[in-house]
Structure 1
Amino acid sequence: MKKIVIHGNRPLTGEITISGAKNSAVALIPAAVLADSPVVLKGVPDIQDVHSLIEILEIMGVKTSFVDHELTIDPTEIVSIPMPTGKINSFRASYYFMGALLGKFGEAVVGLPGGCYLGPRPIDLHIKGFEALGADVKNEHGAMYLKTTENGLNGTHIFLDMVSIGATINIMLAAVKAKGKTILENAAREPEIIDVANLLNKMGANIKGAGTDMIRIEGVDALHGCTHGIIPDRIEAGTYISMAAAVGKGIKVQNVIHEHLESYLSKLAEMGVKMDIGEDSIYVHESTDLKPVNVKTFPYPGFATDLQQPITPLLLKANGNSQVTDTIYEKRVNHIPELARMGADVSIEGNLMLLTGPAQLKGAEVAASDLRAGACLVIAGLMAEGQTTIRNVEHILRGYDHIVEKLTDLGAQIEMIED
């Protein structure tokens, strides 16, 4: 077990470079197995979720090479075997193998996905989509068994009852080789979905409308390898921009697509954070005299649920009362009691998180309950007087590439130690 130790209340300056998007990488890697020749992904983040996916690929006979953020995936000798429950259960995005293997082999056996507990996250929309395409889906002994008839998968019209990133991507993966045309309505619009569609189209798929709420997929017979660069991670970018506003004395965040962060950046501007937005970078000035704001999460292009926790410590620097409401995951509140341990004036009322600033946080021993809660506590630790020790850092390492090294380069006194 590892833990992160931070000696806080130090001014940070310099430049920090954003890695490739975690939420893209975890879908692009399963998507690559649909090809019949090698796929090269550039800009892959060096995070635990990626290493877990590589282990799963190797169990399936897929050859991989991961060097300097470049991942080569050779699926030419892949075998469709039941997916290992242990590794599959460790994180949620492993469910993309359902759609990818169904699309490639017409069958799949995949252990039920795990990941951070953020309240109910059912996969019923995924199953509804697979069944609409002609698959038979059974849940037996904690695993999903997916199989098609001799007719294979057939294009169809699917309407998602609610917007779901996971279901949108999974249905795309299953439908790219289905016979005929699939129309997916009420699709999620996140940049990561466009990224996956771009990879599949480079591989020979015929997908139109990704990034809108209606995606049209014309099935193809075969997909081939290609080279694809992953988009920058908008959640990592938002995390470090919040950190720069909270404790920075001028920090440049490099490799950012600011259009992916418009709702977030407008909320920071409303608080009074001064930023110079360049073509692929954002310079965050030292922030003082911040105003409180109310934050409400929505599906893209609304305020991202994944950025709700990273903005919370910054709200504690504002003069007055702020409110945060997460409409996506109502159980995404476990960072609030940990901030209270650090002396924050915070509370939860129903699905409202109430925060009063300005707060002088004090170092404490806290625990990361999930990935973005961990990011919140890292920022809080950098703001706090004294020493903060964060346990359960495995959650943080799932999604933040070399976080300790990146923050050290800005002047943070932070280290990861074995417990």
Structure 2
Amino acid sequence: MSQQEQLAIVGGRPLRGRLRASGSKNAALYALAAALLTAEPVRLHNVPEIRDIGEMGRLIESLGGEVTIEGGDVTLDASGITETTAAPEHVVALRASFLVMGPLLARFGEAGCPSPGGDAIGVRPVDVHLAGFRSLGAEVAREGPNFVARARRLEGSRVFLDYPSVLGTVNVLFAATLARGTTTIVNAAAEPEVEMAGDLLNAMGARVSGHGSNQITVGGVESLHGAEFSIIPDRIEGGTFLLAGLATGGDVELEGAEPTHMDSLLTKLREAGARVEVSDHSVRACVDGPLRAVQLQAVPYPGFPTDLHAPMAAALTQAEGISIIHERVFENRLLYVGELRTMGGRITTGGQSVIIEGPTPLVGSPVRALDVRAAAAVVIAGLAAEGETVVRDIVHLKRGYPRIEERLEALGAEVHAR
């Protein structure tokens, strides 16, 4: 796909209807990396059909693994791994590529990877990962462009994470599954995607407990086996569609969702005046009048997710009053602000805070998709705006939102790729 591919949106149409939640982008990437821990096939279902999955698949193939992608089903066979160092061309575009380190180190005794790429939303150093590997007994060094870790066999230990990094937690968790003895990960990330990673590892024969909390215990085993596993729903994609519905004065129902993973968002939607209906596996959000301004902080789970900061800001341009969003996770999350201002958004920033004055009559404009979630923000703004919005560089959008044009059209939007 060309980086310059564009999405044209004719705004002013309320989004209405039902759609099914996709599988979680982040959780699926973690699951693909986990398959490196075993020589037996791992079969995954409900995998989103997005660019990042293909990128991770190509990385695993470059190491000697076999990856078969058939729609939402992915089969991985890592029995033929011949390489334990990830090549830069397979790492530069994907932050989650660094997750091959933990499995390769645990299974083969060595792993190498350049500094990973991905969205330019913050420094996101890999120090947490490397410190965790050292705590498990690995020798870690920088050799040319690569971070390299080596150990004959990792030793279970008490691992304290300086920050509850999601990727850091998952990478250390992967490494600990094949370590000798018991590992306790303290100050671990508690996100649902981390919990799912632990569930998958247990399905593969690991002994993981406490996942989904801030302290994870891992009893090391000699080897893992294959498994068949379904990826959890994507709470970020689902939340984005709910916000798009509210920004346009619409009514969107998300089926196949996990509402308990969306508590912080649903709480803020109710505060903003939305009518939110929840059942075991669906969420519906609609608005009978104007949205109300809210204040929130984007923080680690179970707080409001940083990945919904930008989409929420776009929706709040249509709320009455002054909304404030404090970003507590990534220092460069505010790149989207300039694009919303281009469309008429009355938004100011101070430090890591965003102040939004609404409601704002947005005007269709040419804008850029600067990262995955900024892309979602300008799409929401375009749907709420009068006139045509043209979003450039939608390669970022398609990294996180499968079949985005088709799914928006099903809700009544007028969109088409150029």
Match of 1:40 in 2: 43
Matched AA of 2:236:
I
Match of 2:21 in 1: 18
Match of 2:103 in 1: 100
Superposition deviation, residue 285 in structure 1: 2.1
Task: Confirm whether residue 52 of structure 1 aligns to residue 61 of structure 2.
Answer: no
Superposition deviation, residue 277 in structure 1: 1.0
Q: CA separation in 1, counterparts of 2:77 and 2:105?
A: 18
Q: CA separation in 2, counterparts of 1:140 and 1:363?
A: 49
Q: CA separation in 2, counterparts of 1:11 and 1:321?
A: 23
Superposition deviation, residue 353 in structure 1: 0.7
Q: CA separation in 1, counterparts of 2:211 and 2:15?
A: 39
Q: CA separation in 2, counterparts of 1:268 and 1:6?
A: 24
Query: SS where residue 33 of structure 1 aligns?
Result: helix
CA contact 1:9–1:383 (8 Å) conserved in 2: yes
Q: How does 1:68-79 map to 2 (within 5 A)?
A: 68-79=71-82
Matched AA of 1:327:
R
CA contact 2:15–2:244 (8 Å) conserved in 1: no
Q: How does 1:228-247 map to 2 (within 5 A)?
A: 228-247=229-248
Task: Confirm whether residue 5 of structure 1 aligns to residue 21 of structure 2.
Answer: no
Any gaps of 5 or more consecutive residues in structure 2?
Answer: none
Query: SS where residue 312 of structure 1 aligns?
Result: helix
Matched AA of 1:297:
A
Query: SS where residue 319 of structure 2 aligns?
Result: coil
Task: Confirm whether residue 200 of structure 1 aligns to residue 214 of structure 2.
Answer: no
Match of 2:128 in 1: 125
Q: CA separation in 2, counterparts of 1:248 and 1:322?
A: 18
Superposition deviation, residue 12 in structure 1: 2.1
Please say which of residues 37-46 and 1-10 is displaced more in the overlay: 1-10
Query: SS where residue 167 of structure 1 aligns?
Result: helix
> Paired residues, what number?
415
Please provide the CA RMSD for this pair: 1.1
Task: Confirm whether residue 116 of structure 1 aligns to residue 119 of structure 2.
Answer: yes
Superposition deviation, residue 278 in structure 1: 1.5
Q: Which residue, 136, 145, 160 being the options, matches 1:142?
A: 145
Match of 1:90 in 2: 93
Match of 1:361 in 2: 362
Superposition deviation, residue 39 in structure 1: 0.4
Q: Which residue, 18, 27, 31 being the options, matches 1:28?
A: 31
Deviation track 1:253-290 (CA, whole Å, cap 9, x = no partner) reads: 11111100101110110010112111111122244222
Please say which of residues 100-109 and 247-256 is displaced more in the overlay: 247-256
CA contact 1:204–1:223 (8 Å) conserved in 2: yes
Matched AA of 2:359:
P
Match of 2:216 in 1: 215
Q: CA separation in 1, counterparts of 2:329 and 2:288?
A: 29
Match of 1:252 in 2: 253
CA contact 1:36–1:222 (8 Å) conserved in 2: no
Match of 1:330 in 2: 331
CA contact 1:346–1:356 (8 Å) conserved in 2: yes
Superposition deviation, residue 368 in structure 1: 1.2
Match of 1:304 in 2: 305
Q: How does 1:241-280 map to 2 (within 5 A)?
A: 241-280=242-281
Query: SS where residue 250 of structure 2 aligns?
Result: strand
Q: CA separation in 2, counterparts of 1:281 and 1:82?
A: 42
Superposition deviation, residue 141 in structure 1: 2.3
TM-score (structure 1 length as normaliser): 0.97
Match of 1:61 in 2: 64
Please say which of residues 308-317 and 137-146 is displaced more in the overlay: 137-146
Q: CA separation in 2, counterparts of 1:167 and 1:286?
A: 39
Superposition deviation, residue 369 in structure 1: 1.2
CA contact 1:18–1:256 (8 Å) conserved in 2: yes
Q: CA separation in 2, counterparts of 1:111 and 1:328?
A: 23
Any gaps of 5 or more consecutive residues in structure 1?
Answer: none
Superposition deviation, residue 97 in structure 1: 0.3
Matched AA of 2:369:
A
Determine what percentage of the aligned residue pairs are the same residue.
Answer: 38
Superposition deviation, residue 383 in structure 1: 0.5
Match of 1:413 in 2: 414
Please say which of residues 117-126 and 220-229 is displaced more in the overlay: 117-126
Superposition deviation, residue 82 in structure 1: 2.4
Deviation track 1:319-355 (CA, whole Å, cap 9, x = no partner) reads: 1111111011122111111101001111112222111
Matched AA of 1:2:
E
Q: CA separation in 2, counterparts of 1:216 and 1:246?
A: 42
Superposition deviation, residue 63 in structure 1: 1.4
Superposition deviation, residue 248 in structure 1: 4.7
Query: SS where residue 334 of structure 2 aligns?
Result: coil
